[in-house]
Structure 1
């Protein structure tokens, strides 16, 4: 017997979504809102699918949609306070110009060679397309010593990434639950100390590299029922020295160095929040327009790299190839 919340093709809600192109208030009619609030509380999966449909129309402010569809006793996961809703840029975005602007923005705050800055730019862009690819490379921010700007680069990536969750310490049980619950871009600082204290977290991070293998099983509840948790998603690690070989094997290295006399950077803390907001908005629009092409992309492997290293670079190369100009080189 089908659920009473299952949407028929000609249901009032589906009809309202189709009408959004010429009636921006179609989903906010009182009867429709009541159905949406009921669905959000009783069938979160159906509500999430419907929300994605509404978002694809690009006719709504999704923060307003979330506010209006929330009931007074809504007990859904409180991620609205963790992640800021990003409104896509209203016009089509030139991909090469966007990536150039991101690279220049990073260069204002971090000392690194051009290749590292370009790799960081491609990785930040990949976080907006993670649902379209089959491999999720880890961004491995590393340096041989302290005060090389590692945490600054991690924070800058957090200002660019989709659904960023930046932490310095997280228990393994919270790690896989957070990924399953929120599907964040996970940004872990002080990873050398973190993994030393939580060796079992390495297996969770390893598992999230490919979509097919991104599941860990843990026993849950008083009856210790084996339960699968999805750990697929983008992750960045920041620390001093080398990380474990299994993690490095699944990573794109972002190597930093100390400033030399005459090199200067701007304070990231004092940067204009609106500047980063505009970049995120452009990234969101680029991802919407490019998702299908990235999903179908099969970039040429890099000569000299092993198979797993080429796997790690695959989504980044797909983005570079798509935007063209000087980026594929």
Structure 2
């Protein structure tokens, strides 16, 4: 038995290695007179030679390296678009055509500006960023992390038009607004692609389904991002690879942990004299196809270059941590296209990265405030015992540990105090007492926040010492809420508190 090195077990949808660049293309053939879907593998090697073959479970390169494909994809749907036209594929294979990187960049850039009006003083930085991100979706496998996009803005600001453009240009688009976890992680695992998730406001919801979707999005930012599931009668555990570029569009904000994985593109309503949205998106469909053909060809022709760009550390001055991860792929691509003739591209995108970073710091503070206010509102308005700052931050950590682990109870109290919510001393603790629904309604109105207030005041129940004895709860024990009871109404808490140690719900 020959042991296989895990480094050579790869997904076939997008292959960028030092000795080969390749990807799968869905085509339609016939079998016994019936149309069937089939995967073909288009390959280009460092010496410039090119091949195409039916996808098999393994691939051996001219250099002698054997790759093993896992998972092996199911046959593509009959209606699945190849993205890369048959004519362009034939020219690439037979004529050995070379793609001009500058021409490819300008083609995508010009399509964006023709159909989208950003009406923003950072418009050029946004257009360049979108152009580079579209290119990145075709080669994201070369990087260890992929930036998400957050398309944010009021109704009528052009978010849907941005998605229409992305849907015609990104690698293997998955345009959805109401998906469930199972088909999403299976398709990402089998075929890869670019997720375009509209109406992403629902990622704020607390339902089990949305929580599962949110976990897929959080994990899929990194190359080793996996979604673990139990399958079959024996409930065997299996991991699904959910790494891929993703764009999320919404009017309201995203959960903070998710927003930190995104480059935010803020949209505003276009002026009355704007012509962009009066143009039909497919008025000249051939222009979209020409752009896709150029993107696919460039992907294969520059395979080794993409690997080199992924290792560059000099393209992101003064950007660190998550900001570095977000911007390094795009800034390294900007450096490449600038070297090919796109003037002043890197400096312009870097300026937009700095702008985005500063805006992100302000948005982060707002998101944290809103989350703590929502939790405080639910706990204060639905629980009998007034909570402390410690109890509020404990609840926040259960849902978004990455965001709230470093926020202390003292900091929590300071944030809530800025909105007029103060504590009172009671039995040696400082609690949030005598705060009413009207106080939270005032905050909503004055600060434009949606605190998801309970629809009506919950009738408070008096908890006696006999109740506590029955539940075997010690009143002075530190409150450590469980996720399913944080926060909820007293009648539910009383049933769920049994079996929990500590001051659960009271």
* TM-score, normalised via structure 1 length: 0.74
Offset at 1:305?
3.7
RMSD, aligned α-carbons: 2.6
Aligned to 1:308: 322
Offset at 1:302?
3.3
Give aligned pairs, total: 271
Larger Rg: 2
> Residues 283-326 of structure 1, C-alpha deviation per residue, up to 9 Å, x if partnerless?
11111122211212214253454410110111111211111132
Structure 2 unaligned regions, length at least 5: 3-37, 56-72, 348-506
Q: Describe the shift of the 1:211–1:80 C-alpha distance in structure 2 as closer, same or farther (beyond 3 A).
A: farther
Does the aligned pair in 2 maintain the 1:119–1:254 contact within 8 Å? Answer: no
Of Structure 1 and Structure 2, the greater helix share is in 1
Aligned to 1:117: 127
Does residue 152 (structure 1) correspond to residue 161 (structure 2)? The answer is: yes
Does the aligned pair in 1 maintain the 2:42–2:51 contact within 8 Å? Answer: no
Aligned to 1:28: none
CA distance in 2, matches of 1:161, 1:170: 19
> Residues 246-299 of structure 1, C-alpha deviation per residue, up to 9 Å, x if partnerless?
121111222211012322214343331111000011011111122211212214
Give SS of 1:51's match.
strand
Offset at 1:123?
0.5
Aligned to 1:51: 41
CA distance in 2, matches of 1:292, 1:268: 38
Aligned to 1:272: 284
Among 189, 214, 218, the alignment partner of 1:206 is 218
Please list every run of at least 4 consecutive aligned residues from structure 1 whose deviation after the TM superposition is greater than 6 angstroms.
none
Q: Any residues of structure 2 matched to 1:1-329 within 5 Å, and which?
A: 51-53=41-43, 58=50, 60=52, 76-79=74-77, 81-86=79-84, 87=88, 90=92, 91-112=97-118, 113-143=123-153, 145-193=154-202, 196=205, 198-212=210-224, 214-265=225-276, 266-297=278-309, 298-324=312-338, 325-326=342-343, 327-329=345-347
Of Structure 1 and Structure 2, the greater strand share is in 2
CA distance in 2, matches of 1:79, 1:280: 20
Give SS of 2:146's match.
coil
Offset at 1:194?
5.4
> Residues 159-212 of structure 1, C-alpha deviation per residue, up to 9 Å, x if partnerless?
111111111111012221121122121111111135536132111111111113
Give SS of 1:309's match.
helix
Aligned to 2:426: none
CA distance in 2, matches of 1:53, 1:151: 35
Does the aligned pair in 1 maintain the 2:83–2:289 contact within 8 Å? Answer: no
Give SS of 1:114's match.
helix
Does the aligned pair in 1 maintain the 2:158–2:267 contact within 8 Å? Answer: yes
> Residues 113-149 of structure 1, C-alpha deviation per residue, up to 9 Å, x if partnerless?
1111111111100011112121111121111x10111
CA distance in 1, matches of 2:316, 2:280: 33
Relative contact order (C-alpha < 8 Å, sep 6+): which is higher? 1
Structure 1 unaligned regions, length at least 5: 3-46, 67-74
Does the aligned pair in 2 maintain the 1:251–1:309 contact within 8 Å? Answer: no
Q: Describe the shift of the 1:161–1:109 C-alpha distance in structure 2 as closer, same or farther (beyond 3 A).
A: same
CA distance in 1, matches of 2:177, 2:313: 34
Mean Cα displacement is larger for which, 189-198 or 167-176?
A: 189-198
